[in-house]
A and B are shown apart, each in its own frame.
Chain A
């Protein structure tokens, strides 16, 4: 039965025959990306926000594939969705005590932020739609791998557009220097994150500890607190908040 349905569907002068499938999937991924991005803003529960963000960034990877940038799309899926968001979800799980799962902002802040957001969006859309060269329809995707040119360019050899002119000018610079800078940056960040996260976890959060402690004379309490917190540099003298 299914073949007949399909034949009837495609043979009949139905709108299906006129659909540009590249555009169709673009609008599909764009709707998912934008819809869940707005859902991240609208949600109050931080766990749901993390899940919506996963869907939004995954759909954005689909947009990258549709633009012919499959290496960037793969990086987006592997590093962003597979790495960064897993890190964020771990952060959510480590801090998801009951009062912090959904912290609501004040209504006035939301109204102001909404007005500013709408104005900013209007400006950006006006700028995006004002250039006629950007509105020319696409020529269409030609299958052409992009990973090899990027990999060669990162080690300093451009294979995508050889330079024109004399042999001396025939060498186009690759991206060795940015690659080195990013490498050093990642190393520094790795060391810095390990240093920041190295502190030992408290058994009980400080507010509970301060509230639960009986009240000895102030000088004794401060002395004990300083001794306990010296390694962490916490400002106990300002009092429990």
Chain B
């Protein structure tokens, strides 16, 4: 009955099989590309910051997926603790980066009365 059902509902086959590392990599790729596009098209400085958060998060998904021993098939070895610790460090550095970037943004807003990154052209020759 199962093949017939999978044939009838193509996506149902996905739900009956266990996930693999590749599933996580696809999610990480989508988050990463969303962040890149967000950084490229947003003119609000805070929107650019949110794009950076998305990019870091997409990288974290990959690290955690490769670190998980449960997602690996037989015979392949996971990153183990290294991947999880790197993910924790990335989260901490993202927090630090957000604090500094927000301070810069607020300073820019105080001095220029805008958060539009296209207006930040004082250094243009």
Contact = CB atoms under 8 A, between A and B. Distances in A.
Interface of A: 13, 15, 18-20, 22-24, 26-27, 30, 33-34, 37-38, 40-41, 46, 49-50, 53, 56-57, 60, 63-64, 66-69, 71-72, 75-76, 79-80, 83-85, 87-88, 90-92, 94-95, 99-100, 103-105, 109-110, 113-114, 116-117, 120-121, 124-125, 128-129, 131, 133-142, 146, 149-150, 153-154, 158, 160-161, 175, 178, 182, 185-186, 189-190, 192-193, 196-197, 199, 201-202, 205-208, 232, 234-235, 238, 241
A85 B109 CA distance: 19
Interface in B26-73: 26-38, 40-44, 46-47, 49-51, 53-54, 57, 60-61, 64-65, 67-73
5 contacts: A79-B95, A88-B50, A113-B40, A141-B70, A193-B102
Nearest to B9: A15
Interface string B80-121: 110011011101111111111011111101111111100100
Contacts of B104: 196
Given A113-B37, A139-B74, 9 more contacts: A18-B16, A26-B23, A71-B84, A72-B91, A84-B95, A87-B102, A100-B114, A103-B115, A133-B75
Contacts of A197: 103, 106-107
Given A40-B54, A189-B96, A196-B104, A121 B29 contact: yes
A88 B110 contact: no
Contact of B46 (A15, A71, A95, A110): A95
Interface of B: 1-2, 5, 9, 12, 14-38, 40-44, 46-47, 49-51, 53-54, 57, 60-61, 64-65, 67-76, 80-81, 84-85, 87-89, 91-100, 102-107, 109-116, 119, 122
Contact of B102 (A91, A117, A241): A91
| Interface SS of A by simple majority | helix
A30 B27 contact: yes
A238 B122 contact: yes
Contacts of A185: 93, 96
A221 to B, nearest CB: 18
Contacts of A189: 96-97, 99-100
